[in-house]
Amino acid sequence: MISITSGFDSGNIAVLSENPVPGGTSFDLAIVKDHQSDFYQWFHFRLTGAKGTAVTLRITNAGGAAYPDGWKDYRACVSADRQDWRRVPTRYADGVLTISITPEADSVWLAYFAPYSMERHHDLVARIAATPGVTHERLGGTLDGQDLDLLVLGEGPKRVWLYARQHPGESMAEWWMEGALEMLADCHDPVARSLRRRATFHIVPNMNPDGSRRGHLRTNAAGVNLNREWHDPNPEKSPEVFHVLNRMDATGIDFAMDVHGDEAIPHAFIAGFEGIPNWTEGQGRLYHLFRDTLARRTPDFQTRNGYPVAGKGKANLSMSTNQLANRFGCVAMTLEMPFKDNADLPDPDHGWSPERSKQLGRECLGALHEILDQLPER
């Protein structure tokens, strides 16, 4: 018997109907909205009992998703072992996303992007926290009672904050974190050793554990978009931002990176803080220096494609990058990675992948190493 289920960590799909077709079967599906929110686009489900059978999966409400432009040229991710995620033929027309697959295994998992489970998150935190020179702290609890984890390493005077997955469906952000943390904790890596000597890193690998576990695209357990809460976080509806920003106020910040994924743009890029009231030319110069250094280091990052730049005084201070740059006078940025692929360097089998996300994490640290000494003394 062929079945589709999603009752697991980060699972999301509703089965509307199964319809036998010549040579196979077809399912009509729907993505479930984030709790108390109209956002939806993340899907993650298991297909069992279909080995060798041609299966058509029709996500019928794709046209109403948060970012329907994200379906153009998109290909879904599939894995039989939940380790190697590959892309499968996918098309979008008339508001329906259609995935075609003939599984080679009795069970396969399909997802919008390679998932990063909460169990893997706990394994990552435990592994890095056990490394000499790393301290771990629970900053507070989420609305669902999960822990908000902070890892601190390094002994240098520069204050660096890295945080990811404010939007839980952007799982590539925590893959990036895994790559960055593995590098920073490697006592044999000379760049990591130099960074730890010159800076202290405060790292939140997952800002939204509740949304991650619930299978949300963009919000926490209360249906709140955390990246619109930084001007005035409320412990009753956005405790994640409330706890992190309180600690940031205690430490101060010289450099901050907020790690995300973008549904529509097939490139990796960064967005800055142009338009903040307290903008300085020095901040802008260092932001562009980091951006251009990263582009020089890796062809998986570019500067031509990205978001429009806010006009003078028009920055949205409810977003973390703008709030932190304005509040601390630091260099802050939002890193975006694609759900699709890097159109300049495509990989037909994997598209943008966990491995590329991890490698970009390492390259971002390499770029920071090059420009770190130019950050002003405070």
Active site residues: 336
Do the Cβ atoms of 77 and 113 come closer than 8 Å? Answer: yes
User: Token pair for residue 213?
Assistant: 């576990």
**CA–CA gap between residue 52 and residue 54 (Å, rounded):** 7
**CA–CA gap between residue 205 and residue 208 (Å, rounded):** 9
**CA–CA gap between residue 130 and residue 127 (Å, rounded):** 5
**CA–CA gap between residue 168 and residue 181 (Å, rounded):** 19
Residue type, 235: P
Under the phi-then-psi rule, with left for phi > 0, alpha for psi from -120 to 50, and beta for the rest, what region is 375?
Answer: beta
Alpha helices in the chain (DSSP H): 118-129, 172-184, 190-198, 209-214, 239-251, 281-297, 320-328, 354-371
User: Token pair for residue 178?
Assistant: 């895994």
Do the Cβ atoms of 301 and 295 come closer than 8 Å? Answer: yes
Q: Is the dihedral of CA 256, 262, 268, 273 positive or negative?
A: negative
**CA–CA gap between residue 342 and residue 352 (Å, rounded):** 6
Angle at 348 between CA 344 and CA 352, to 5 degrees: 60
**CA–CA gap between residue 7 and residue 17 (Å, rounded):** 18
User: Token pair for residue 310?
Assistant: 């806010």
The number of beta carbons lying within 10 Å of the beta carbon of residue 73 is 14
Of 300, 282, 312, 275, whose CA–CA distance to 364 is shortest?
A: 300
What is the chain's Cα-based Rg?
A: 21
**CA–CA gap between residue 99 and residue 95 (Å, rounded):** 13
